[in-house]
Amino acid sequence: MKKIYGIGVGPGDSEYITLKGYRIIKNADIVFLPSNKGKSIAGEIAKDFIKDKKTVYIEFPMGKDNSKRYREAANIIDKHLEDKGEGVFLTLGDPMVYSTFSYIMKELEKIGINVESIPGISSFNAAANRIRIPLTLKGQKFYLTDGDIDEDILKHSDTVCILKTS
């Protein structure tokens, strides 16, 4: 059975890629990279780890409704991934936090491709560590949103993190 790993490459520093992510990238048959106008930030972060790998760039225009594109991406992956082959889809941050991969994952599962997600470091985690300010402490409420702010929840949150605003 075909298998694809969604691997979070973190917020920009290749040293933030987990050991598990690195190992899976090194053993993968093929690397799929989200791109915009032919450029892939995730690919740039992991460039030293994928330089000898077959790579396929999948275009995702920023700010667009990509529902149809997610299906197309799954089909591109299916076409390039050999039977019993293992590939990786590299994504910024973590695959389960506002990631293109979380949408593609559903489409891949629909067409029978085995999917596994390998966590990465999200930008808000890296930023909090960089400035040494805890995101939340015991008893506090943490609110993560994509810019569509719920004013009522905001009133009851100790920490607010806004990602992916457009």
The pLDDT tens digits for 51-79 are: 999 999 999 876 667 788 999 999 999 99
Quote the tokens at residue 120: 């990465």
Q: Which residues are within 8 A (CB) of 158 and not within 5 positions of it... i.e. 6 or more apart?
A: 136, 140, 141, 142
Checking if the pLDDT of 33 tops 90, the result is yes
Name the residue among 156, 153, 161 with its Cα closest to residue 135: 161
Domains of the chain from N-terminus onward:
3-123 (3.40.1010.10), 134-162 (no CATH)
Order of all β-strands in the sheet with 30-35: 54-59, 30-35, 86-91, 3-8, 114-118
Q: What's the rounded mean pLDDT across residues 119-127?
A: 96
Return the structure tokens found at 24. Answer: 């899976």
What is the mean pLDDT of the segment spanning 3-16?
A: 97
Cβ atoms of residues 131 and 160 within 8 Å: no
pLDDT higher than 90, residue 106: yes
pLDDT given for residue 63 in this prediction: 64
* pLDDT one-digit tens code per residue, 152-163: 998 999 999 998
What would the pLDDT profile of 124-146 be if each residue is shown by its tens digit?
A: 999 999 999 999 999 999 999 98
CB 1 within 8 A of CB 114: yes
Q: What pLDDT score was predicted for residue 66?
A: 78
State yes or no: pLDDT of 4 exceeds 60.
Answer: yes
Whole-number pLDDT of residue 166? 57
